[in-house]
Amino acid sequence: MCQWVNGMQVMSHSGGHLPFEAQVNSVLNFTSSNRITVAVNNTLTPHTLPPGSITYYNNSHYPPGYFVQNYQFDFFNYAGIHRHIQLYTTPLRYIDDITVNTDFSRSQGF
Query: What H or E segment, with its residue span, contains residue 37?
Result: strand 36-39
Question: pLDDT for 10-48, tens place per residue?
Answer: 998 876 667 788 889 899 999 999 999 988 888 887 777
Compute the distance between CA of residue 19 and CA of residue 61 in angstroms, rounded to an integer: 41
pTM of the model: 0.62
> Rounded to 5 degrees, what angle do the CA atoms 77, 79, 85 make?
130
Question: pLDDT for 43-82, tens place per residue?
Answer: 887 777 778 888 999 888 899 989 888 888 887 777 788 7
